[in-house]
Amino acid sequence: MKFTPDYTVIYSDEDIVVLNKRSGLLIAADRYDENAPRLDAEAEKEFGKLFAVHRIDKDTSGCVIYARNAEAHRNLSMQFENREVEKIYHALVLGHPMWETKKVDSKLLVDGDARHRTVLNQKYGKAAVTDFKNLGSCGKYSWIEARPRTGRTHQIRVHLQSLGISIVCDPLYSGNQHPVLLSEIKKRWNGDETSERPLLSRLALHAYQLTVTHPKTGEAMTFTAPYQKDMEATRKQLKSIFGADSLEKSEK
Q: CB neighbours of 235 closer than 8 A, spacing ≥ 6? A: 227, 245, 246, 247
Pairing of strands 166-167, 141-148: unpaired
**Active-site option among 13, 15, 57, 192:** 57
- Amino acid 65 reads I
Distance CA 193, CA 184 (A): 10
Give catalytic status of residue 57 as yes or no: yes
Distance CA 75, CA 73 (A): 6
Beta strand spans in 99-182 (E)? 101-105, 108-109, 119-120, 129-138, 141-148, 166-167
Residues with a catalytic annotation lie at: 57
